[in-house]
Every structure is written in structure tokens, then in C-alpha cells.
């Protein structure tokens, strides 16, 4: 099965004594599944290998439609986005090592006469936010049956991904190169801010927020460019970097060491981006650049911090550095999804392969 999504289970004190667990979803198959995997010692074939052995399948459950996104809600529950428009909560029963459907919202995303794929999910338990090809944003609570709120016509184009900026604010990216901020405290159906790429309206496919500096956001799109944004200043990206030669499907800051960032692409590559800094300024907003990576000058946002802008535009290597490493041993078919937790990285591909690296240099 082609792997569409991969996610590590969040770490808690209770899971530290158990084998590492991750979940995957599949696509392009009449028999799509959501699966739980273990990378305990039984899954390691050689300690000398960077990518170690086959993960062990713990349990799986049939999934109606392609799994277009996948998020852990908590230690026991997983939320999936289906190409049928459904949003599903699965429960992982640790004692019996089985999966069951805990909650189902059928046709949450839809057109007047047909289903619309649910394209993205973000969770902040018990809240779940989904976006879709229908341009809707839907807010659910895992402990409630109905829909908490729907923003109809949030977008006239497909919304590809969503992330939380703060507890009451989310960010979405769409197929015309826009990054939109939404504040659930406001009752209207209008975004509180719109940021966009200049020039061609290149679709944005993925977004992630810096875990410590909530105003710093990374996006990736159809042209393979990695964009870093400061949502406090201006409405254009702070930097544009040549990352991949085809669509970038996912981008993630490392959750506990955000000077490390990871991206994967249709071109079969998975990149590890590492910055270092000798100042207090967040290093992704430094002037760090590698001329083989960054091909365009950053656009200075109006009214921004001048010292920050100067450092970024001049590429002062004494204050910042950006290095990239190819993480896969060789280029493969499209790398559709990645996730990273601690020193563990997992990714899934169209080659029906899952790669696990337990020694990511963080």
C-alpha cells in the first residue's frame, strides 16, 4: 500500500517504558487502512544501519477512502481525514492491541451533490479542526457529537493544510499561495490576516508553526520552495529557499529542538535543515544561507525590525548558518509524509515503504 501519512504517538511518562509506536495511513487502494506500528527491539535488524529493519505491525483497521491526513489526539486516539469527506476518530486499545472507530462524522466536508475530500487536520485535545477541498473550516470537540463551528466559504479554493498558531487561532494554506490566520474568538467568516507569495499563485501544500516562537511559520508548496514567514510583520515570506525539485508535501519543525526542520517531496527526497546561531534572534530569521540552497533574496516586510532584516538580507554567516542533509539513502518514489519525535524520524512513500531512523542528529 502507498503510505500517505505517518505520525509518531506523543510521548508521555506512561509510554516511555513501551516500544516506540507510530501510525500510518494509506491511499490509492480499495483496501486502505490505518495501521499501528512498533519499532521495539524486534523491529531492528542491524544496529549499524541508519535505517533499521522492518517496523512490526501491531494492528490495523480498514479505512473508507484515502487517508489524506492523520493526527494523534492523545495517547489512545487517532483522527483521520478521508477523501470521502469524513472525519474519523479511532481508538487504540493497548491491552488487546486492536483499533476501533470511536467517532465518525460522515460527509463533514461536502459539495452540494457530492463528497469533498477532507484535506487536513490539527488537534489540540479535545478540539479538532479540519479543512477541505470544499473551502470549509470545521471545529469539532472529541467529547461532543455535533459540529462546534463551521466557517462556510472560508476559501474559494482548496485548503490544503491547517495548524494551530495559538489556542484560539489557526493558520491555513490554500491552492493559490495564501496563508490565512483565523481567530475563533471572532464570529465572522473572514480571516484576521492574509499573507501571500508574490508573483505566481503557487499552491501551498503544508504548514508548520515554530514550537517556541509562535509567529514563525514554515510552508512548502508545489514549486518545492521552503518559505519562512513572520506573521507579525508584513504579508510576505521572510525567506524563500530552493528545497526540492517537485511538490513539497510536508514540513515539520523538530518539536523540542526547532533549529532543526524537516521537509519531504514528490521528488523522492527528505531533507534535514539545521541552523545554528550565536545570537538570541530565532535562527530561522537570521541571515543564514547556503548559496546552493537559497536562490532568492528575502523580501523585507514593511515596518519590520531593521537589524533583523539586515542580518537576513546580508546573509551574515557569523550570526547564522543553514545546512541541509539528505536523509534517505537514495532517492525513491514520492515521500508523502514525515514525522519526527526526539531522535526518531519516520516517513512514508509511494513505493509502499516506511523508513524509520532512530538516530537523527539533533
Give the residue-averaged pLDDT of 303-332: 52
* pLDDT level of residue 54 (50, 70, 90 thresholds): confident
The full set of domain ranges for the chain reads 1-11+18-41+52-153
Give the residue-averaged pLDDT of 288-303: 32
Strands 67-72 vs 225-230: parallel, antiparallel or unpaired: unpaired
Q: Is the confidence at residue 280, as pLDDT, over 90? A: no
Strands across the sheet with 118-124, in order? Answer: 118-124, 127-132, 137-141, 147-151
User: For the domain 1-11+18-41+52-153, what is the CATH superfamily, name and number?
Assistant: YVTN repeat-like/Quinoprotein amine dehydrogenase (2.130.10.10)
Q: Is the confidence at residue 49, as pLDDT, over 60? A: no
Model pLDDT, residue 29: 75
* pLDDT level of residue 317 (50, 70, 90 thresholds): very low
Nearest CA among 215, 224, 213, 211 for reference residue 195: 215
* pLDDT level of residue 279 (50, 70, 90 thresholds): very low
Measure the CA–CA gap between 157 and 268, rounded to whole angstroms.
27
Measure the CA–CA gap between 125 and 306, rounded to whole angstroms.
39
Beta bridge partners of 225: 242
- Give the three-class secondary structure for 306: helix
Amino acid at each position: 500500500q502507498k503510505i500517505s501519512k505517518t505520525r509518531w504517538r506523543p510521548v508521555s511518562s506512561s509510554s516511555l517504558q513501551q516500544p516506540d509506536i507510530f501510525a500510518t495511513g494509506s491511499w490509492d487502494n480499495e483496501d486502505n487502512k490505518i495501521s499501528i506500528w512498533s519499532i521495539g527491539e524486534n523491529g531492528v535488524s542491524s544496529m549499524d544501519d541508519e535505517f533499521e529493519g522492518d517496523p512490526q505491525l501491531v494492528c490495523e483497521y480498514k479505512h473508507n477512502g484515502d487517508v489524506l491526513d492523520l493526527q494523534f489526539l492523545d495517547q489512545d486516539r487517532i483522527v483521520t481525514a478521508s477523501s470521502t469527506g469524513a472525519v474519523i476518530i479511532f481508538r487504540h486499545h493497548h491491552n488487546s492491541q486492536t483499533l476501533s472507530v470511536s467517532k465518525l462524522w460522515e460527509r463533514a466536508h461536502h459539495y452540494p451533490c457530492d463528497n469533498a475530500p477532507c484535506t487536513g487536520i490539527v488537534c489540540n485535545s479535545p478540539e479538532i479542526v479540519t479543512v477541505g477541498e470544499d473551502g470549509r473550516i470545521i471545529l469539532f470537540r472529541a467529547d461532543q457529537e455535533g459540529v462546534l463551528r463551521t466557517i462556510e466559504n472560508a476559501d474559494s479554493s482548496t485548503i490544503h493544510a491547517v495548524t494551530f498558531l495559538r489556542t484560539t487561532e489557526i493558520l491555513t494554506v490554500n491552492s493559490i499561495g495564501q496563508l490565512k490566520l483565523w481567530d475563533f474568538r471572532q464570529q465572522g467568516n473572514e480571516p484576521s490576516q492574509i499573507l501571500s507569495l508574490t508573483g505566481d499563485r503557487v499552491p501551498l501544500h503544508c504548514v508548520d508553526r515554530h514550537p517556541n516562537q509562535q509567529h514563525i511559520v514554515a510552508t512548502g508548496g508545489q514549486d518545492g520552495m521552503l518559505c519562512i514567514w513572520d506573521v507579525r510583520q508584513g504579508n510576505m515570506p521572510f525567506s524563500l529557499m530552493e528545497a526540492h525539485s517537485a511538490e513539497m508535501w510536508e514540513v515539520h519543525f523538530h518539536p523540542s529542538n526547532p533549529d532543526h526542520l524537516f521537509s519531504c517531496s514528490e521528488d523522492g527526497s527528505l531533507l534535514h535543515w539545521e541552523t545554528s546561531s550565536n545570537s538570541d534572534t530565532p535562527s530561522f530569521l537570521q541571515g543564514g544561507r547556503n548559496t546552493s540552497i537559497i536562490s532568492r533574496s528575502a523580501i523585507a516586510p514593511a515596518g519590520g525590525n531593521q537589524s533583523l532584516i539586515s542580518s537576513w538580507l546580508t546573509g551574515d554567516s557569523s550570526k547564522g548558518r543553514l545546512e541541509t542533509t539528505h536523509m534517505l539513502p537514495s532517492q525513491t518514489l514520492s515521500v508523502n509524509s514525515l514525522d519526527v519525535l526526539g531522535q526518531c524520524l519516520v516517513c512514508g512513500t509511494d513505493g509502499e515503504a516506511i523508513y524509520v531512523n532512530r538516530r537523527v542528529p539533533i
